[in-house]
Structure 1
């Protein structure tokens, strides 16, 4: 193996990628029987005292690996296995003789299955050389088949020769069909019913649906005699009653003469399509086909009373009676019959020549094709049982639903099939059969399911003592008498006693019973299960072993154990999810400190405090200015003044005199700050290892500013006030002047717009009538 591939596989295995595929999905589990019904990988631990305080007995149900990891011994694990018993296994026959040949082995088995657990067994098959063949020639005798009938009358010798080349024990029968003798399929005129052919036809037989002509016979002369007596008939429409004829030939076994031990073939020859179920309604025939034999005097008497069979009905009867159809049809109808053949297992379609002269070769080839194809399938399979067939031969077909297929199997060659059987759930005892299609031999499978546990008795422990004399041990747990409950049947179900004990299920006052994760039973918490099917545990159901942090999709990184929500890491690992090995190599600084004393080393990385930055917590981003924060301490240490004057030694213990320290300096800073008296002081701060460690070098001289002149301040203040007052008065005068000028300009503009004009008063009108006093002279 390539070295790199091997390394990859090792890494995958270490990281949990190559894990056992077993899983146990539990639902409601109260006993060992419930457990084994949950899935094929679920097993039960019957060890006494296996569960933790408050843990449900369902914790006894899990995969074998998980239970053993939790301390369950192999001898205490209950895991029922499938059981196969061969009841009958007669060896396969080497060749055919007059006795019943055996082609399938075994013949009867009994199988006990655990639900969900597959079981594989082998079935052998060997096609016996010279096995008998019954061939029933079923011919369409409608008008269009006139030439074909004449040729068949002369092919009897060739048919028997072909049959003898296959087997020495061959038989041939003969039947004919046209269609139902009702409208619209056949002309029901009385004269036409007696003679449905053209007037030019000298020989014509009356209309009929299906007629059995010759039962199975090994006699060539008898076959030729009966076929020679047949004449053409006729009908109206193109489709024929082929399915009616095939159904009667299949179900009327005694009349046809089918032998019990033989390969049964129906050769259907026609040049038209076929009617099927539902077509009978056109003639008012509503009664469905009952799949029964209705032959009287070799004639199908229910042809005009019963509908055509459906394809499904025909398929079922052909399969039930081990009949394999060969459709010898004309080229124009090949597509139709190919579609029919696709629905019928063990059937084949061949194309007839125009006069049917090639029918012998067609039958010979079709038989060899059918006999060399072995198809194993089943019948009456229960609903909750699955079967998968795996053929073991030179030419297997790809996997198919409910069947296994081997092609090109020569006679006398032994092949086998692996049959995998799975019962999905518990069920009552039943049986079904497995058989090769077209072959009488069958395998009967008697099937039952294993849904109960068989557990050992704990002889070293008294069941009465372990269960407090109120029950007995069953599969590691107590089965209590009526009126008692608890893991050891220690509690009575009396309501008054139960209420008195509920307080002991509370972790503290005013809290939920059993933390809301369980039920209080007899003063003890019976914990519920988690979402994954495991149990909460603890005296108050406060713990579960699944809620720990994960790393690389593994609980506690695969390097620790989850206990009550916290990872308990292995000795060499640390972290909240045990995700890294213990080491502080990358956290070490030049002075051999860890993270410069400003953080903790976890998973070989510094977790810095405050605003200190990785990788080693040396620099601080966003931290306050040390010159400002240490000013008060510098003032009290250097000049015995400032806010810390009274407790300078205690408040400023983080600052040491530079002459007293001989340690690694991380950074230096020159500072100039004003003290509480307003004087400038200068000092130098050297930052040391640690979060708040400094040395200080302080200059003893302060730079204090001279006091201000009182006279100059007062004089300047008065002059300033006077100047400001004058400026304000001038500004006010300017604003008033500007407003007056604005009003004056507005008045002048309005005056220019005014216009004076002379006009009559619109209210005054001249008189329309003048009156003069005649006596008035005007004097």
Structure 2
């Protein structure tokens, strides 16, 4: 019954479109049904005869299912392949460990046949087996500073085995030790110091060494106690040790260490110092990088002085491949160093040792419980253009992601599950990859292929009347015999009206098919490009190879080139898909670009006049003190030109809370309103281009009304005064002019030379008096 429910759930989750909203169909070059199915996950093809109109391209048959139905295509004539999920191997989960191979992961093999770009989801179940075997390799730093710790470790056998018995009856322990490379500057290479690198007074000191494998995995407590009891400290020069060398050899030398196939593999590293890493070997002239191979003879690492230390990434990869989980039992002084190391190695834990390592058993138990209760599902290298996302279903919550899924606080015997969503972004043949829980041997093999072909099952396709009996129908489209072309095979090669047919292949009376194709029956048949892809478009004007590049990659590697423009993936934008979509650097005071621009490539593209970085200030914009004066006047005092429709005229640009209580002052204004009153107010520009909040600072300052009597009296007095002033001015001008003439005459008189003489023409006057009564007698 459980298995039936499992397959039912698998079927429902695999049928995309059952409850998922249909998305669009982004078409590019569509010449056939196969082209349509390949172009997008939600593209469907209508094979119905006579679906396209006369002269309409067959690409119109390609659209979403809903659009095709809306255009009149019958539901049973629509081709849209669905994802197919087939469980190939599905063994039941084991309840407890026995001598047979336990099953902790279900299913074990699954086959997917997917639509390009269409995600499909299936469940993955996991259950921790009761009593699962544990292999613990105790790897100890035997530099001189660990002398006291070694004494206590020699007595650990009984308590360590007892602690493991509480976890499982099938426990094994091995032991190894390390110091550092026996070359300068890591170790004193003086012959005597190589033999006895410890203090002169310390007689129990073994020669310097890099890594030594002491005890193969065993379930015998006496062997552990005996072999560890024969160990003594050694020494080196610098503080960091060769921990990574030792862990790499313990991981890759599986047969010599004694790792079992079915077991939880633990490496417990105890140290009080940091570690050397890749590159440090150059200090000693060691240039050859670690080859991640086993180089152990008679228990000693033989390439210690010839190969550099491994990198952390190399070590992490080996731990993941070999299902090994490290526990770093370190002293307080290096706790932070190993915590940083733990973040780079999946399924690892860090615990703090006491000064003499007496708490190491409790530390191992608590670290093991944390590791085993945390289930992390991930995958190995994915095929190109395949994406996987994990969504955990956990009682105590979990972490989803596209590289791994995590469930925490998982108890023994508790079954958990993950929803695994797989998407193939390109068409591909059979390929496979492995999904596994970290630290667990069980795996799921996923075999993946894509469904990019149409199965139309055309009937009576030979010499169909729909194709003028000179062609067959393939998915609703005519495939013509040699010598015939056209949508319905209506054109024969060598047809007489060649000029009009060729004109139909010319864009704007230009070159026929842009010089990139042949005109066949009035339609362009495009050539291939140099790289093998095809030109496309009605006139072969498009190709998918000449788009903008970023970091020398077409469309930055984050999109597809479509007819000279980049079609970016969902999370990218920019002309070359060079930017990951983000608005983090565009946000200011809770808004994106203050509502005065758009965020592109995590930078604000401001509207005209506004300035970066957040489009706060505007150059060349009108003074808001003047543009908002009429609204301030009507909202605050119900006067002015907007007084009759103030709420409508000022609704969009001024916050109607207006006059009370905001304290952030951006701009203070002092303006005269329509009644010649002075208004003092301040404005704060809110998000958006023309949205303000205002506060009137004080009442209006208006002038007193005029005194009519004073104005009239003053006017008359002013006119009289002006008249008198004008008369005085005229009199003054006349006087000044006369004075000027007098002075001129005086000056000319002084310049004249006078001579006294009689005028010869002048005769003195003669007076004759006649008596009228005198008769002359």
Could you tell me the TM-score, scaled by structure 1's length? 0.64
Partner residue of 1:676? none
**Maintained 8 Å contact 1:519/1:528:** no
Structure 1 position 471 matched with structure 2 position 482: no
Q: Is the 8 A contact 2:399 2:407 kept in 1?
A: no
> Given the alignment of the two structures, is residue 410 of structure 1 paired with residue 411 of structure 2, yes or no?
yes
Q: Is the 8 A contact 1:174 1:214 kept in 2?
A: yes
Deviation, 1:401, is 3.5
**2:102 paired residue number:** 101
SS of 2:364's equivalent?
helix
Task: Note the 1:273-672 alignment, pairs <5 A.
Answer: 273-459=274-460, 463-494=463-494, 498-499=498-499, 501=501, 522=521
Check 1:174–1:525 CA distance in 2 against 1; reply closer, same or farther (3 A cut): closer
What is the RMSD of the two structures over their aligned residues, measured on CA atoms? 3.2
- 1:457 Cα shift? 1.1
CA distance in 2, matches of 1:510, 1:108: 60
Aligned partner of residue 166 in structure 1, secondary structure: coil
| Aligned length, in residue pairs | 525
Counterpart in the other structure of 1:202? 203
The change in CA–CA distance for 1:327 and 1:503 in structure 2 (over 3 A counts) is closer
Q: CA deviation at 1:392?
A: 1.4
- SS at 2:137's partner residue? strand
Q: Please say if 1:82 is aligned against 2:105.
A: no
75-84 vs 476-485, greater mean Cα deviation: 476-485
Deviation at 1:502, TM superposition (A): 5.1
**2:647 paired residue number:** none
Structure 1 residues 503 and 170: alpha-carbon distance in aligned structure 2, compared to 1, 3 A threshold: closer
Per the alignment, residue 12 of structure 1 pairs with: none
**What stretches of structure 1 of length at least 5 have no aligned partner?**
1-18, 534-739, 757-779
Q: Compared with structure 1, are the counterparts of its residues 105 and 524 closer, same or farther at alpha carbon in structure 2 (3 Å cutoff)?
A: closer
1:245 corresponds in structure 2 to: 246
Aligned partners of 2:57, 2:750: CA distance in 1, in Å? 109
Q: Return closer, same or farther for 1:53/1:743 CA change in 2, 3 Å cut-off.
A: farther
Structure 2: gaps (5+ residues): 1-19, 526-535, 543-736, 754-777
Aligned pair in 2 of structure 1 residues 499, 134: CA closer, same or farther (>3 Å)? same
- SS of match in other structure, 2:245: helix
**Structure 1 match to 2:213:** 212
Partners of 2:99 and 2:520 in 1: how far apart? 75
Alpha-carbon distance change, 505 to 427 in structure 1, aligned in 2, over 3 angstroms: closer
Q: What is the CA distance between 1:513 and its match in structure 2?
A: 11
Distance 1:447 1:296 in 2: 43
Q: Given the superposition, is the C-alpha separation of residues 228 and 48 from structure 1 closer, same or farther in structure 2, using an over 3 Å criterion? A: same
**1:416 Cα deviation (Å)?**
1.1
Q: Matched residue of 1:395: which SS?
A: coil
- Aligned equivalents of 1:75 and 1:135: distance in 2? 62
1:233 paired residue number:
234
Mapped to 2, the partners of 1:338 and 1:290 lie a distance apart of 26
**Structure 1 CA distance, aligned partners of 2:160 and 2:742?**
137
Q: Which residue does the alignment assign to 1:551?
A: none
Cross-structure match for 1:695: none
C-alpha displacement at 1:395, in angstroms?
1.7
Q: State whether structure 2 residue 193 is matched by structure 1 residue 182.
A: no
SS in 1 for 2:166: helix
Whether 1:119 aligns to 2:124 is no
Distance across 1 between alignment mates of 2:238 and 2:39: 61
Match of residue 267 from structure 1: 268
Q: C-alpha deviations, 1:718-774, integer Å up to 9, x for none?
A: xxxxxxxxxxxxxxxxxxxxxx99998997598589899xxxxxxxxxxxxxxxxxx
Query: 1:408 & 1:490 partners in 2: Cα distance?
Result: 71
**Which residue of 1 is the match for residue 48 of structure 2?**
47
CA distance in 2, matches of 1:495, 1:755: 124
The 1:746/1:66 distance shift into structure 2, 3 A limit, reads farther
Structure 2: how far apart are the matches of 1:83 and 1:402? 23
CA distance in 2, matches of 1:119, 1:755: 130
Change (3 A) 1:110 1:512: closer
| Cα shift readout 1:646-695 (whole Å, capped 9, x = no counterpart) | xxxxxxxxxxxxxxxxxxxxxxxxxxxxxxxxxxxxxxxxxxxxxxxxxx
2:29–2:537 contact (8 Å) kept in structure 1? no
Deviation at 1:338, TM superposition (A): 0.3
> Which structure has the larger Rg?
1
Q: Find the aligned partners of 1:26 and 1:256 in 2 and give their Cα distance.
A: 58
Structure number with the bigger relative contact order (C-alpha 8 A, sep ≥ 6) is 1
233 and 479 in structure 1: CA distance in 2 versus 1, 3 angstrom threshold: same
Q: 1:162 to 1:488 in 2, by over 3 A?
A: same
Q: Deviations over 1:567-602 (max 9, x none)?
A: xxxxxxxxxxxxxxxxxxxxxxxxxxxxxxxxxxxx
Cα distance in 2 for residues equivalent to 1:753 and 1:221: 155
- What SS class does the counterpart of residue 336 from structure 1 fall into? helix
Match of 2:26 in 1: 25
Q: Structure 2 vs 1, CA of residues 488 and 324 (structure 1 numbering), >3 Å: closer, same or farther?
A: same
2:462, 2:471 within 8 Å by CA — same for their partners in 1?
no
Q: How far did residue 142 of structure 1 move?
A: 0.2
Q: Which residue of 1 aligns with 2:721?
A: none
**Aligned residue number for residue 723 of structure 2:** none
Classify the secondary structure of the residue corresponding to 1:369: helix
What is the alpha-carbon distance in structure 2 between the residues aligned to residue 299 and residue 512 of structure 1?
A: 77
Contact 1:56-1:529 within 8 A present in 2 as well: no
Task: Return the offset for 1:524.
Answer: 7.9
